[in-house]
Structure 1
């Protein structure tokens, strides 16, 4: 939205993983001032109509709504995730999912499905606009964010596709991406984390459920693709397509969340499912009231050939597809030139012939590469970096240093040559000490410039998230827990009375 590094605009991490101590630093304020510029404000100033529908999620709920930052029309779910058929929260302890239209709270209609309805709303906004004036439209689909939901019409199309399991399919996908030329032939897979389950260790029932969960995931993606196609067809019928640049980007890696665990935690989660009236049966996976997720093992398959997945600074959590088409964009197929998410704003401003100061952004325009004028977006010595909750990376040409925090990482920096090892399997820091130290120094300079704070070795964003979840659950479900305890005590008291009565009769 801003062309800036997330810390530079007060969004140093997810709002769910911030602590009171972190909020004292500007990079973690989770709040935007009214004069915060976005791509929407800049394009509005240039005469564009601006629209957004879908998942917003910048800071606290209601704190930074898009109508304050250049969007003429907006229909957004703010600062959280929710169901695809209704505004039902999926996080235990959450009370509601908040939707806003043009800054005002709204309720969802009964006939709601996220991908279809968000595209419908976007078409409505464009249709109601001035057809003689240009527009910028940001469609932020919920697919494929948890909960994974789509009708059986789509899920059933993938019957049998995932029955081989994640271990086999991870190897198959490695060979597939090599054959397509998406990665070099030298690419190998990183070992799976110890916490990942082996497919062969699952019971037949567990395999059946897990395969079905991935079917829902695939069906939801196909459904989203269909509705994106509807939007493109609408633009074509209105005579707008030939003058429209379309960008499609993915979330930052596949989501590894789980909906079942072992031991007491699963008992508590099952109780929450009952209280919230979730239907997690096999037959209902993907349907209304379901709570479906693919888990870390399938997420690893979806990220293949890269290591790990969403939230981490490995390639599995940073490198995602970007598809661009439209006037002035070369039909060049797959390009390997790196694009930072912050590059999108200056690139689109450049494409729209809107004057701007390149030095005002962390990102840079990559329009020359998209136009086919060059096959590069950055010189070999240029660097760019990322950091979220201790997960960090810095890129320089073919080289990358990265650090992943627990639970999947150990907070140690490593050096990889992505030109031969995009799977990040061979740490070359020991063989290239000068390069390694130089890149570490560049990361430190970046960190100080943007205001990223260093977390301690025991700090863990997921711990913060989980603690907040527990607190929310205690706050929301204590009446249920109290009622359960009282019911148990009453049952024990009645049982005691019954046993004592029977004993007296026997004694008599």
Structure 2
């Protein structure tokens, strides 16, 4: 009997030492914002927007010049949460079911979420914010590994409640139960405070935590507290044409865009600022002031999270990652004339959308917008802060992708990614850990395979310096760019390098087969989703 007691005591001591070792693993705060352009924050050239907390994270951490997303909300979230290409995770198009496994519109069970893997590894798992990777209850965060959840389910939400509890205009859920946003309460603030409350609760568990903080700002509708909008009075009086050029210069000065490389060619569909009337200029200034105010409030929220981490004595052992789900939104859609719109731009009840004019500035110096594979659609800010290990005030070329985040976090968390789950074979992770790059002298990811994109018939391949792409609405004609010298994608050199075009096209076809990508005409819905 004594023998068994001794063995059991030894087991407890070993288990206790493992638990203590686990407690030393870093906490993780993964911050995703929505429709933020490449240069919409100060560390990436947008010094017209007040983002002191992000500036501090960048100064004390590492930024990438090249970090890629999937060009639009839901597919980006699918890759971010699973480490898979969006088609492999079941969300090759959007959160709508188009009748094929790669386009089912919600995360499949063969693609494990960050929360599922990290929970199994002993982490507390928390989400606060936007979900958008499964509409049905069995697809919600609590059913995909999150211990604590505060979220809205779909792709967009008002920032203010304009109805009563019986018929809320802001559909929120807290741990799967309906939650009513109080009148006059700004959603960004509620997302932040719910996360802070969860962090406070989590401390009793004596475990490291993973917080997925998914802000919907600055996605439409353009709504912000008036005190934030008022901060930017007069800031945008010179208009979008001059500001996009200024941001190009500032991005070069910051080191996040190569010096000597030109800005993307101007979008000729955007009206010149100096051709607008006085009243038009006032209206469009107001629009950008609201957009800046939305970003400003997110930055303040990040500061609140950091303050709470310090109060909990967790700040020195927490990784913070910041990125955007895609570039700023293009187009000329203006919801001011819809029946939904009942207020001045920025106010509760207003329903305005960021358009190409200011979004061209937001994505400067890159080309084009959200929902396409030009750099302005898939290029995003990427900041990693972890003073224990990540280089301070460092800028890497990077050339990272969403698929690299899962292996990176599992590396830090010492989490084992399983081969099977619930008797299902689990998809392998196609990305690589960025940990060595973040702490070492290397300048970019060492990867022996290309990166790929497909969304609504728009396609791209990035391999070394080359980027091959085609746009569905333009007849899918091949375009080839040398990103080493032309990240602005001003010069299509496909005609000069037919061998490169052929090689990259063959690689794309192989990837498409492996990921069950089908020609867009086969699954094309009647309307696009943004």
Which structure is higher in strand share?
A: 2
Match of 1:366 in 2: 434
How far is 1:278 from its partner? 1.5
- Helix, strand or coil for the counterpart of 1:137? strand
Distance in 1 (CA, whole Å) between partners of 2:184 and 2:226 is 17
From 316, 319, 343, the equivalent of 1:242 is 316
**1:69-91 deviation line (CA, Å, top 9, x unaligned):** 11001111112201111278xxx
- Helix, strand or coil for the counterpart of 1:139? strand
Match of 1:278 in 2: 342
Match of 2:121 in 1: 46
- Helix, strand or coil for the counterpart of 1:368? helix
**1:243-300 deviation line (CA, Å, top 9, x unaligned):** 1101011120012355538xxxxxxx73x43xx4621xxxx32121122333111101
1:156 aligns with 2:236: no
How far is 1:63 from its partner? 5.4
**Deviating more after overlay: 396-405 vs 187-196:** 187-196
- Helix, strand or coil for the counterpart of 1:74? strand
Distance in 2 (CA, whole Å) between partners of 1:149 and 1:346 is 36
Match of 1:143 in 2: 217
Bigger relative contact order, structure 1 or 2 (CA pairs below 8 A, ≥6 apart) = 2
Distance in 2 (CA, whole Å) between partners of 1:415 and 1:385 is 14
Contact 2:327-2:377 within 8 A present in 1 as well: yes
**1:67-113 deviation line (CA, Å, top 9, x unaligned):** 1111001111112201111278xxxxx99553222223333233421
1:384 aligns with 2:451: yes
1:356 aligns with 2:417: yes
Unaligned runs of 5+ in 2: 1-80, 420-426
The number of residues matched between the two structures is 438
1:449 aligns with 2:514: yes
Q: Residues 12 and 78 from structure 1, CA distance in 2 versus in 1: closer, same or farther, beyond 3 angstroms?
A: same
Match of 1:125 in 2: 198
- Helix, strand or coil for the counterpart of 1:245? strand
1:317 aligns with 2:371: no
CA RMSD of aligned residues (A): 2.5
Distance in 1 (CA, whole Å) between partners of 2:371 and 2:403 is 17
- Helix, strand or coil for the counterpart of 1:235? helix
Distance in 2 (CA, whole Å) between partners of 1:314 and 1:259 is 20
Match of 2:171 in 1: 98
Match of 1:496 in 2: none
The correspondence of residues 34-433 of structure 1 with structure 2, limited to 5 A, is: 36-60=111-135, 62=137, 64-86=139-161, 97-131=170-204, 132-256=206-330, 258=332, 260=334, 270=337, 272-273=338-339, 276=340, 278-279=342-343, 284-326=344-386, 327-356=388-417, 360-372=428-440, 374-379=442-447, 381-406=448-473, 409-433=474-498
Please give the TM-score of this superposition, normalised by the length of structure 1.
Answer: 0.81
**1:201-237 deviation line (CA, Å, top 9, x unaligned):** 3222111111111111111111110111100111011
1:10 aligns with 2:75: no
How far is 1:373 from its partner? 5.0
Distance in 2 (CA, whole Å) between partners of 1:158 and 1:175 is 21
- Helix, strand or coil for the counterpart of 2:394? coil
How far is 1:178 from its partner? 2.4
Contact 1:254-1:303 within 8 A present in 2 as well: yes
**1:36-74 deviation line (CA, Å, top 9, x unaligned):** 411101111111000001011113354520111110011
- Helix, strand or coil for the counterpart of 1:149? coil
Please give the TM-score of this superposition, normalised by the length of structure 2.
Answer: 0.77
Distance in 2 (CA, whole Å) between partners of 1:223 and 1:119 is 10
Distance in 1 (CA, whole Å) between partners of 2:527 and 2:140 is 25
Q: Rg bigger for which structure?
A: 1
How far is 1:395 from its partner? 0.9
Q: Residues 438 and 9 from structure 1, CA distance in 2 versus in 1: closer, same or farther, beyond 3 angstroms?
A: same
Match of 2:528 in 1: 465
**Deviating more after overlay: 107-116 vs 390-399:** 107-116
Unaligned runs of 5+ in 1: 89-93, 262-268, 470-508
Distance in 2 (CA, whole Å) between partners of 1:167 and 1:95 is 40
